[in-house]
Chains A and B, each alone.
Chain A
Amino acid sequence: MSTVTSFRPRTRRNVELVLLLLAIAIVLVAYLDVGLAMGGTFPPDLIKYGFGLLFLSVGFHLVLRWRAAYADPLMLPIATLLNGLGLVMIHRLDLAYGRTGSKLLEPKQLMWSALSVLIAAGVIVALRDHRQLRRFTFTAMAVGLGMLLLPLLPVIGRSINGSRIWIGIGPLSLQPAEIAKILLVIFFAGYLVETRDVLSMVGRRFLGIGLPRARDLGPILIAWLASVAVLVFQGDLGMSLLFFGVFVAMLYVATERRSWIAIGLILFCAGSYFANLVIQHVQVRVLLWLDPFGPKALAVSDQLAKGLMGMAQGGLLGSGLGLGHPQLTYFPESDFIIPSFGEELGLVGLFALLLLYVLLVERGLRAALGVRDGFGKLLAVGLSFSFALQCFVVVGGVTRVIPLTGMTMPFLSYGGSSLLANWSLVAILLRISDQSRRPLPDPEELAAASAAHTQVVRLQ
């Protein structure tokens, strides 16, 4: 049976605008809340702040109306809300630490947010079709790997807390791995869409699972070695996990072979086992993970313990913004911003935040389902999954699901490179979702344009 489609999807841009205004309203209420709770007065910055936020996000919204009218309507409001709440928390911590002048983090974060939104809008304008990115498959690989390796270079590389994942240029500290993440996903997508047919060939069967041919194992081994290298040389457990996990997931999606997942898991387990045997930095993390309150762990670091105490103090409903003590935790505005929110907004607030992330990932995966080309599918899956995995690594790290690793929570955490990367990531996802929801050219127009005997038919 076949039906002719005459359904025309709605753009949903108005929904986006309403949600965007709601998101801004929530952020402003939170900002007001902090001001009242900590200073007892109406914060005079509120108006300036509100207009800034409104200008930026509505500006982005207009760009979407102009260049990506069918883009997903939820992504921008969610990203705005998360970014805004992160700003509120950073502002709140500025107040708690009594920072002034150039020591203030919130204005810097605001500046980075503005820059990131502008770049994201630039991506929407410049990238008319995500398939353009396929042309840069190997360029993306080269630049991505280069960025991953940058912190290892002398002079500009910086080691902070045992992780060599920073580069310093003048006063700026950047985490190039955040940007490398996107570039490598572009590379994986481009590479896998080319090679998926070969990689999905079955060699021998073992225990009912079709194993790939030995000669096709090359790429996964290289990816594995690269992620092990990241772990060994940079001590960055999180990025290593993220990098390898995204690769395996994309390999699975490209080939539809579960055996890749099995192989990936085995390689991952072997890798982490040996890392724990050999690398001292990893051993410490594992010790802190297993018993953060034990005397042995506390002798090394009470970082995780303090974060957990903050979250526990928050309980179900939290202390309320500005009324807890997140400043007692180390890095409360970057790696430990989730405990900061947990303490002040409670479990309820944390659930809300996590659900926002789930929603964003889900919209990304939906775009992957809807888009018609393989590259777009892989790209959207890779970006969404990397986003999800990063949330898992960060939140799982501070709540003892996995050992703690130094990573930033997308949009919430303080950090320019993280904001830049995640806004760009959302911009690409918006572009793909626009492609996936955009209706095909009108059948009648097409029919009229082409020879009279043809007709575009969609088979159900």
Chain B
Amino acid sequence: MNKPIRRLSYVVALLFCSLLFSTTWVQFVTAKSIDNLPGNYRTLLNGYSRQRGAILVNGSPIAKSVPIKDRYKFVRTYPSAKLYSQVTGYYSFTYGAGGGLEGSEDSLLSGQSDQLFYRQVLDMLTGKPPSGASLELTINPKAQTAADQALGNQRGAVVALDPKTGAILAMVSHPQYDPGTLASHNLNSVAAAWKALNAAPGNPAVNRAIAGDLYPPGSTFKLVTAAAALSSGKFTESSQIPGPATLALPQSTAHLPTDDRQPCGPGDKTTLTHALEISCNTAFGWLGLDLGGNALRAQAAKFGFGDTLHVPMRVTASSVPPLNAPQSAQAAIGQYDVRVTPLQMAMVSAGIANNGAVMTPYLVKDSRNSSLDIIDQTQPQQLSQAVTPAVAAALTRMMVTVVQSGTGTPAQIPGITVAGKTGTAQLAAGGNPDAWFTSFAPATKPQVAIAVVVENGGNAGSEAYGGAVAGPIARAVMEAVLKP
């Protein structure tokens, strides 16, 4: 009987091998995906019982976990309350981590990222309680505060970039909320705060700077049209182009008027520079017709339209749809279905400021583990070369005239040359227009590029013009960055 017994021992071996395999499958191969299943209470508990990494601006925390004597051991606090609400997002026991860096960098903050593996093993061996990585942001707190105060009680968004690196210096979206109310361990008050947040007018949970309902860019898009025109080689900044009081659109009965229903220059002609300076709709409409929809789309794509970026929060891609002739005239002045995020418009200015090179925007400067060793440091990366340095220089000169003597005068800063472009985007007939301003400064040696949008004209209502409403906000932020 020994032969079958030996054979049976192979069966036993097979049975146990299948168990070794299945336990490996559960605890190693698919463990991460099981951990991330919705409703996995253990993952939440574990996240709470270890010290979550802090989010820092200039070394001081804007989100940190502090020890507390209850079953969850740590509570998340947000020292600046509302100021950084859309940047940090929230960390809630009931509703998880989301709304900003808390969500997109959860694995680093919670300490579950593979990047932290060796540290965690070391910590385990030395008996240190495990903790997450902390993130140092690129935000300039003075610029953030200035943007917040200048925007005031108006709905809208401000994004400021360092044009040379792509580092995000300010990111403000109004209205705001206090993420601390969602982090409380009093689950009833958290539920109430969550309900209030979702019912609040203006949807404060949305980060309008990168992920809201996209905005029509209005005349700020003329920068892209001008870039396409100069890059085509057919035009220079002093080229004479038609600028009539109204432009008849081909293939339709529609007409495109200038804002004041007057021609943009003598003999219905104007230079490219002057057209930008006074934001001449007919001249840019004509350029759109001349260049064609594809050239506009290609130029926009070079500035980053159509890219879904992660800063590390996901940025909704801005878009220019396929265009026929009359649509390309409308798109050239930022109408029709051109849709942008404020970050995208800031990238347009930043690209022009940086000799035509658009840098990939980023918010996290570096991440550090519990012993403050740097795990990861963001290196500036070029996203694209939108225009040649020569074209960028020409565009800069044109934008300087906008602020010196055109529609952008409210953004002037004494002693500093500012380059900018206004925008006033009519959403729907009867509604108040969105006010836009995008700029960079100093024009000769740019240190900050910015985009501002104020929804529905802000406090100015139907009287809103980009220069008057959004210009001063941009100036305040640029001053905060430039002035010591």
Contacts and interface: CB of A to CB of B under 8 A. Distances in A.
Interface of A: 249, 252-254, 256, 293, 308-317, 324-325, 328, 342, 346-347, 350-351, 354, 357-358, 361-362, 365, 368-369, 374, 377-378, 381, 384-385, 388-389, 391-392, 395-396, 399-401
Nearest to A314: B27
Nearest to B35: A312
A313 B30 CA distance: 11
- Which of A308, A313, A351, A358 has most B Cβ within 10 Å? A313
A253 B5 contact: yes
A384 B41 CA distance: 39
* Residue with the highest number of chain A CB atoms closer than 10 Å, among B12, B35, B40, B41: B12
Given A312-B35, A392-B19, A347 B12 contact: no
Contacts of B31: 311-313, 315
B8 A252 contact: yes
A401 B20 CA distance: 11
Given A325-B45, A351-B20, A365 B5 contact: yes
B28 interface: yes
Given A253-B4, A309-B42, A374-B1, A342 B23 contact: yes
Given A253-B5, A328-B41, A365-B9, A312 B27 contact: yes
Contacts of A399: 19, 22-23, 25-26
Contacts of A358: 12-13, 16
Interface in B18-58: 18-20, 22-28, 30-32, 34-35, 37, 40-43, 45-46
A252 B27 CA distance: 35
Interface in B336-388: none
Contact of B8 (A309, A325, A351, A365): A365
B23 A392 contact: no
Given A309-B34, A315-B31, A361-B16, 6 more contacts: A256-B1, A342-B26, A358-B16, A362-B9, A388-B15, A392-B19
B18 A396 contact: yes
B26 A312 contact: yes
A254 B3 CA distance: 10
A432 to B, nearest CB: 13
Contacts of A316: 27-28
A388 B42 contact: no
A316 B24 CA distance: 8
A426 B45 CA distance: 41
B11 interface: yes
19 contacts: A253-B8, A256-B4, A309-B41, A310-B42, A311-B23, A311-B26, A311-B31, A312-B34, A342-B26, A350-B23, A351-B23, A358-B16, A365-B9, A369-B2, A385-B12, A388-B12, A391-B15, A392-B19, A400-B22
Interface in B280-313: none
Contacts of B45: 325
A396 B18 CA distance: 8
Q: State the majority secondary structure of interface residues on A.
A: helix
B42 A325 contact: yes
B200 interface: no
A351 B16 CA distance: 10
A308 B24 CA distance: 12
Nearest to A313: B42
B390 to A, nearest CB: 57
Given A253-B8, A365-B8, A313 B35 contact: yes
A313 B1 contact: no
Contacts of A311: 23, 26-27, 31
A449 to B, nearest CB: 30
Contact of A369 (B5, B22, B43, B46): B5
Contacts of B11: 249
Contacts of B192: none
B143 to A, nearest CB: 42
B6 interface: yes
Contact of B19 (A256, A377, A395): A395
B122 interface: no
B124 interface: yes
A365 B42 CA distance: 41
Given A312-B31, A315-B27, A369 B6 contact: yes
Interface residues of B, number: 36
B22 A354 contact: no
A311 B1 CA distance: 40
Contact of A313 (B8, B22, B46): B46
Point out which of B26, B30, B124 has the most chain A C-beta atoms below 10 A from its C-beta. Answer: B26
A392 B18 CA distance: 9
Nearest to B25: A399
Contact of B43 (A313, A354, A389): A313
Given A253-B5, A309-B37, A399-B26, A354 B16 contact: yes
Contacts of B24: 347
Contacts of A381: 5, 8
Nearest to B120: A317
A289 B264 CA distance: 75
A354 B23 contact: yes
A249 B6 contact: no
Contact of A377 (B5, B16, B23): B5
Contacts of B34: 293, 308-309, 312
A317 B125 CA distance: 12
Contact of A308 (B2, B13, B26, B28): B26
A246 B94 CA distance: 49
Nearest to A384: B12
Contact of B15 (A253, A308, A378, A392): A392
Contacts of A365: 5, 8-9, 12
A428 B136 CA distance: 66
A400 B2 CA distance: 33
Nearest to B18: A401
A180 to B, nearest CB: 22
A392 B1 contact: no
Contacts of B124: 317
Contacts of A357: 16
Interface in B377-426: none
Interface centre among A256, A309, A362 (most CB of B within 10 A): A309
A232 B411 CA distance: 84
A256 B7 CA distance: 10
A36 to B, nearest CB: 11
Interface string B72-90: 0000000000000000000
A328 to B, nearest CB: 6
Given A317-B124, A391-B16, A293 B37 contact: yes
A399 B19 CA distance: 8
A260 to B, nearest CB: 10
Which has the most chain A C-beta neighbours within 10 Å: B13, B28, B42?
A: B42
A60 B148 CA distance: 78
A346 B46 CA distance: 15
Nearest to A370: B2
Contacts of B22: 395-396, 399-401
A377 B2 CA distance: 8
A391 B18 CA distance: 12
A256 B37 contact: no
- Among B1, B24, B25, B37, the one with the most A-chain Cβ atoms within 10 Å of its Cβ is B1
A378 B5 CA distance: 9
Nearest to A394: B19
B26 A361 contact: no
A345 B281 CA distance: 71
B16 A368 contact: no
Nearest to B21: A401
A347 B19 contact: no
Contacts of A391: 15-16, 19
A399 B15 CA distance: 13
A395 B6 CA distance: 24
A357 B15 CA distance: 12
A357 B23 CA distance: 15
